[in-house]
Amino acid sequence: MASEAHTIESFVEKPKTLAELRAEIVEGRTKAVDLAAGYYERIEKINPRLNVYLSLTRERAQEQAARVDALAAKGDPLPTLAGIPVGIKDVLVMKGAPATAGSKILKGYQPPYDATVVTKLAAAGAVLLGKLNCDEFAMGSSNENSAYGPVCNPVDLERVPGGSSGGSAAAVAANMAVATLGTDTGGSIRQPASFCGVVGVLPTYGRVSRYGLIAFASSLDRVGPFAGNVRDAATLLGVIAGQDAHDATSSPAPVEDYAAASDKLAGGLKIGVPDEYFAEGLDPEVRSAIEKGIDALRATGCTIKRVSLPHTRYAIPTYYLVATAEASANLARFDGVRYGYRSPASDTLSAMYSHSRDEGFGAEVKRRILLGTYALSAGYYDAYYGKAQQVRRLLAEEFLRAFAEVDAIVTPTSPIPAFRLGEKSGDPLAMYLADIYTVTASLAGLCGVTVPCGATAAGLPVGMQILGAHFREATAFRVARVVEAAQLQG
């Protein structure tokens, strides 16, 4: 187990659930303004050690909390998230707060509007505490790529929290927010949730609006919640899901009551276990924890069935061609002209473009822009980007065939537990391979939930990834509740 000097465990009381806190506010036992003040005190105490929050929105939070208290005092019905403190990943824009995307090139940028998910949270009564640290433009698996310093894992301060939504996962793990929003392009919600021992949700592509998200890879980016338990995560998803006129890729599919669905027993469901996710490279302690989780599902009455997803071995190269190609196009807009950082060392327009982007972007972002630009260049498009899209289609079809036989698929979220800060930062390929179990669902547009599923002998959390077919989030939540219950029972 990590020593007390290297963990914030000594600061963490068992956090109350969203439902418990809301009930206290409804019944007048807790004031929303006092709850928010308590979280800000905690942030002031712990944030210097974790580097989770990049900016705080105290004035807006106080106004939101005061409105909730006024409604409660009158006895009016309160919305779903009334008074619940929530943090927002800094790639989502929020009026009145900086939106840096973890990058120097956006330092000082103040967006004039709220992302749709922020608007929905506010309408549901959430108290928005501030903006959370992340890998620059959501590019990374460790949260070491932020221009504003790395985030530390609350479980072990010498280890990474995962990325790119490391701040979002660490905030929940350290009880610096009841819930948070993150984004997932190739595993950026699921992997940090696994490393920090919290619940993270990858919604089906199109389930949640991307309006107001600073884009990385538009055909892959998704917004989803982190929470301390499955039911809270399901509640958050129910609030932010739904079609949005501002996002043409958002789906009109009806939004289920995910929280209520998560209460349903999972017995009788067919659970697929893919051989390819239990092959060479899987840490033995991670394997053992996941197998115990599968045993818990079997004991609950689920049928366990082996499935095969042979194109999994092509997932990493496919993902890093598609994602970098789209990133090179999306990040072309950051040129030092309209907003953000502009290099002072420029006497011509061309020099200003070059210097601003060179000085404003970090090494990993520049690496991905270069890879993507090459993959899209004349003479290479068909060989690289075009071929990657063909393999992506094969991966998606493979999952469709598997889901014709099973209701959900369970895998490890990551082949390894949280690694030490700096351990992989000098080896980009090793860092990319840490995403081997998450990029497949990203490419196929599937939904998934990562739920804590035990720990290593050193006390590092292990997460189980539960994948569902398109728009089958409710099924994934049902399975996740079984795994969660098994952990609570010891």
CA angle 40, 183, 370 (to 5 degrees): 120
| Residue 3: predicted pLDDT | 46
| Residue 7: predicted pLDDT | 63
In our burial notation (b when 16+ CB lie closer than 10 A, e otherwise), range 250-275 reads bbeeebbebbebbeeebeebebbbbe
- pLDDT of the chain, 490 residues: tens digit per residue: 454 456 655 444 578 999 999 999 999 999 999 999 999 999 999 999 999 999 999 999 999 999 999 999 999 999 999 999 999 999 999 999 999 999 999 998 999 999 999 999 999 999 999 999 999 999 999 999 999 999 999 999 999 999 999 999 999 999 999 999 999 999 999 999 999 999 999 999 999 999 999 999 999 999 999 999 999 999 999 999 999 999 999 999 999 999 999 999 999 999 999 999 999 899 999 999 999 999 999 999 999 999 999 999 999 999 999 999 999 999 999 998 888 899 998 889 999 999 999 999 999 999 999 999 999 998 999 999 999 999 999 999 999 999 999 999 999 999 999 999 999 988 888 888 889 999 999 999 999 999 999 999 999 999 999 999 999 999 999 999 999 999 988 6
In CATH terms, 4-276+290-307+399-488 corresponds, of 3.30.565.10, 3.90.1300.10, 2.102.10.10, 3.30.70.3280, to 3.90.1300.10
| Residue 12: predicted pLDDT | 46
| Residue 9: predicted pLDDT | 53
Nearest-Å Rg of the Cα atoms of the chain is 21
Distances (CA, A) of 191 to 113, 184, 255, 305: 29, 9, 25, 25
Pair 465, 210: CB distance under 8 Å? no
**Start-end of H helices in 144-283:** 166-173, 190-196, 230-240, 258-262
Pair 373, 332: CB distance under 8 Å? no
Residues with Cβ within 8 Å of residue 60, at least 6 apart in sequence: 96, 97, 128
pTM above 0.75, yes or no: yes
| Residue 15: predicted pLDDT | 83
**Pairing relationship of beta strands 447-455 and 303-307 according to DSSP bridges:** unpaired
| Residue 44: predicted pLDDT | 97
Pick the closest to residue 295 from 482, 469, 473 (CA basis): 482
Active site residues: 89, 164, 188
Amino acid at 275: D
Where in the chain are the domains?
A: 4-276+290-307+399-488, 315-389
CA angle 17, 131, 328 (to 5 degrees): 120
Pick the closest to residue 392 from 329, 430, 439, 431 (CA basis): 439
| Residue 80: predicted pLDDT | 98
| Residue 10: predicted pLDDT | 42
Q: At what angle do helices 58-74 and 32-50 cross, to 10 degrees?
A: 150
| Residue 403: predicted pLDDT | 98
In our burial notation (b when 16+ CB lie closer than 10 A, e otherwise), range 389-428 reads eebbeebbebbeebbeebbbbbbbbbbbbbbebebbbeeb
